[in-house]
Amino acid sequence: MPPDLASRMAEHLALVSLAMAIGLVFAIPLGVLAARRPVLARFALATANGLQTIPSLALFGVLLTVPFLGGIGPAPAVVALGIYALLPLLRTTVIGLQGVPAGLVQAGLALGLNRRQVLWTIEFPLAWPVLLTGIRLATVGSVGLATVAAAIGAGGLGVFIFRGIATVDHGLILAGALPAAALALLLDGLLGLDLGMGGRRLLAWLTSHRGWRWSVPVRVRPLVLVPVPLVALLLMVLLLIALLLGPHQAKTVITIGSKNFTEQVILGEFLSQQIENNTPLKVKRQFDLGGTFVLHEAVRRGQVDGYVEYTGTAWTAILKRPPISDAQRVWKETAKRYQSQFDLTVFPSLGFDNTFAILVRTGDAQRHQLQTISDLLPLALTWRAGFGFEFLNRQDGYRGLSQRYGLVFRMPPREMDLGLTYRALADGQVDVIAGNATDGQITSLNLTHLVDERHYFPPYQAVPVFNSASLRSHPQLVGVLKSLAGTLDAATLRELNRQVDLEHRQPAEVVRTYLRRAAPPARLHPAPPPPAPGPW
């Protein structure tokens, strides 16, 4: 069981409850208006239907770019979930109100009630069973969709699912999926509870109590009888969230991020634990944040204070520069341009180069005498390739590799999550993949790394990248980050990756054990001098 399951569950509850609150605030008033205006009903339902068809990841991605939502984190996720909750809430509000017999409405008006009083005392109580169905459907749907929100740093149980997919760890996947399913069933059951005779008598006594009569208008009292289970549940959820998350957030000072694969999570833990061990600062982990561009924007905006990037990725994907093989030049130029263009500080390398690795099964390599990427050319027309999403779209990825080597496969490469490519290769679903040179699965799955003899791939030295404003606010970080230069090598990273991917150990535990054994860390390689005086 993951140690942070309780906090992830609390984050999940926060996302769902806030999304439902947004959905109810917009759907109920709009549903009341639409129920009385057929033209508005058709337009509102058609719009809600259209929003519902947008793929969840696409909507999350679009909302990341909305300035007032603040980029990564729970805000865009809550808005997206609220949008998806609109359709069931709006539809059931309209259907429920339109299903109230017109004769009852006319009778209420004939007795002297105005339209508002009729709505509160007759229409809403009669429409409530239908509306409650919409609330239950929207709540259950929000619990499921909230797992996707982990891709944009919103937290929740989806963190375990994405981490499990990346590491092909069924235990982690179930650690996220089963509690999410249980939570959906629990909320659905609570929302469907019948108050029973005792509960109804208690509420009847409360609404007839003299103090209640003085404090609540007559037209509101009948409605209070109806959504008490929902209101009580939301209040309990918000209280739980405040108790579980409030103290943790108050102590957080520095936020460290990572991309969504094993090595990045390990490196994020490495930075976090070194900061916590050597400064009084508290660290919030914001791991598994999708790809390079999402994390880069988060650091630029100050939502994440720092993370570990690879110089080749920064040079080609972020700065849009043509690949070059001079590692020192790439680092110096990247550091200079990051400082001038983004106000980001690039520290010296941690000590290893994690280049792309073109991988095949060792049995195939021996059978066909494959040693270099060029050796693939005679086989490409009969072989299948499988690459990660970033590799297929980056300037230093498949397109440039194909041009440099004249490498054309029989069919377009299959797109899949980077963590799944290794298993797909080992299982024979594809014949060649682009992995990472430091990945522990290369040895354990008996794969062969083909030599890039034409030096297509640029150097990918692992370097901490930090928001310069954060460094100015916390200057004690600078000394810690500088001291990490040259303290990790490729063999060490390969072993740490292996322990997480194959032994299914938690990254935090793996890093903690390594630091205990290696402390104080010995510098494996001399650190290059900084390219220019830092902003700190």
* Residue that the structure tokens 């130029």 belong to: 333
Question: In sequence order, which residues have a C-beta less than 8 Å from that of residue 406 and are 6 or more positions away?
Answer: 377
Q: Is 192 left (phi over 0), alpha (psi -120 to 50) or beta?
A: alpha
Cα–Cα distance measured from residue 311 to residue 330, given in angstroms and rounded to the nearest whole number: 7
Q: Is the peptide bond before 520 cis (omega within 30 degrees of 0)?
A: yes
Q: Which two tokens stand for residue 242?
A: 């405040």
Query: How far is CA 191 from its chain centroid?
Result: 28
Give whole-number Cα distances, 457 to 108, 145, 414, 492, in Å: 77, 38, 21, 22
Can you point out the beta strands (E) in 6-112? Answer: none
Interstrand relation of 462-467 and 306-310 (parallel, antiparallel or unpaired): antiparallel
Paired with 436 in beta bridges are 356
Cα–Cα distance measured from residue 18 to residue 44, given in angstroms and rounded to the nearest whole number: 22
- Element containing residue 96 per DSSP (H, E): helix 74-98
- 199: nearest Cα among 178, 223, 225: 225
Order of strands, edge to edge, in the sheet holding 306-310? 283-286, 254-257, 306-310, 462-467, 344-346
How many C-alpha atoms does 505 have within 13 Å on its Cβ side?
A: 16
Give me the pLDDT at residue 76, please. 86
Cα–Cα distance measured from residue 164 to residue 166, given in angstroms and rounded to the nearest whole number: 5
Q: How many CB atoms sit inside 10 A of residue 353's CB?
A: 19
Q: Which domains does the chain have, with CATH numbers?
A: 5-247 (1.10.3720.10), 252-353+464-518 (3.40.190.10), 356-450 (3.40.190.120)
- pTM score, whole prediction: 0.69
Q: How many CB atoms sit inside 10 A of residue 107's CB?
A: 13
Cα–Cα distance measured from residue 79 to residue 437, given in angstroms and rounded to the nearest whole number: 39
From first to last of the 536 residues of the chain, give the pLDDT tens digit: 677 788 888 889 888 988 888 888 889 889 999 988 888 888 988 888 888 888 887 787 778 767 667 667 788 888 999 999 998 999 999 999 988 898 888 888 888 888 888 888 888 888 888 888 999 999 999 999 999 888 777 888 988 888 777 666 778 888 889 999 999 998 888 877 654 444 444 444 544 544 444 344 444 444 444 444 444 445 455 545 544 444 444 445 899 999 878 899 999 999 999 999 999 999 988 888 777 888 898 899 888 999 999 999 999 889 988 888 888 999 999 999 999 999 999 999 999 998 889 999 999 999 999 999 999 999 998 999 999 887 888 777 898 899 999 998 988 999 988 778 988 999 999 999 998 888 888 888 899 999 999 988 888 999 999 999 999 999 999 999 999 999 999 889 989 998 988 888 889 999 999 999 875 544 444 444 444 444 44
Q: How many CB atoms sit inside 10 A of residue 253's CB?
A: 15
Backbone angles phi, psi at 252, to 5 degrees: -70, 130
- Element containing residue 256 per DSSP (H, E): strand 254-257
Which pairs count as long-range contacts for 171-175, CB under 8 Å and 24+ apart, including other chains? Answer: 171/504, 172/2, 172/504, 175/1, 175/2, 175/5
Cα–Cα distance measured from residue 52 to residue 376, given in angstroms and rounded to the nearest whole number: 45
Give me the pLDDT at residue 60, please. 78
Give whole-number Cα distances, 528 to 82, 314, 353, in Å: 49, 18, 14
Question: In sequence order, which residues have a C-beta less than 8 Å from that of residue 341 and are 6 or more positions away?
Answer: 319
Cα–Cα distance measured from residue 344 to residue 335, given in angstroms and rounded to the nearest whole number: 8
First to last CA, the chain: 42
| DSSP-based three-state secondary structure for 237 | helix
| DSSP-based three-state secondary structure for 386 | strand
Cα–Cα distance measured from residue 221 to residue 18, given in angstroms and rounded to the nearest whole number: 25
Cα–Cα distance measured from residue 100 to residue 97, given in angstroms and rounded to the nearest whole number: 6
Q: Which two tokens stand for residue 24?
A: 């109810």
Q: Which two tokens stand for residue 374?
A: 């060029």
Give me the pLDDT at residue 109, please. 84
